[in-house]
Amino acid sequence: MQRKKPLLVTLDVTLPSIIELTAHEHIQIDRLVTTPRGTLATRQGPLLSPGTTRIPLDAGQFCFKALSDTQLRVVQGGVSSHISAGGKDPWPEPPPVKPNSNGDDPDGETPVLTMTTV
């Protein structure tokens, strides 16, 4: 059995929005904040339980990691996503980073993010 690689999803929220996130694992959404020392991830709300959760987000940049296939649905607002597989990269600097193929992880199965808008 192949080990699962983490999927790093960065969300760029251009105006206050509502999303629905469906996952089969616990997920923590973090807000990315730029400081003089670089980008920091700060907790955004509680740890999400497996299942479907509706989440309001203010404008800004957010991220989460997932080990299983995840569905993201934009219910209201303006949200775009950027996906990076592998989990070895540091938190992305705004604007969003491009996927990095570097790292020392062996080949593994990468989860899928499905994003839909209403």
Neighbours of 64 (CB within 10 A): 22
Q: How far apart are CA 74 and CA 51, in angstroms?
A: 16
104 is a domain residue: no
Digit-coded pLDDT (tens) for 57-74: 999 999 999 998 999 999
Digit-coded pLDDT (tens) for 36-48: 888 888 998 899 9
- The count of domains in the chain is 1
Q: How far apart are CA 77 and CA 104, in angstroms?
A: 38
51 is a domain residue: yes
pLDDT band, residue 89 (cuts 50/70/90): low
Pseudo-torsion of CA 37, 12, 105, 21, nearest 10°? Answer: 130
Report which DSSP code applies to 42: E
Beta strands at 7-23 and 70-85: parallel, antiparallel or unpaired: antiparallel
115 is a domain residue: yes
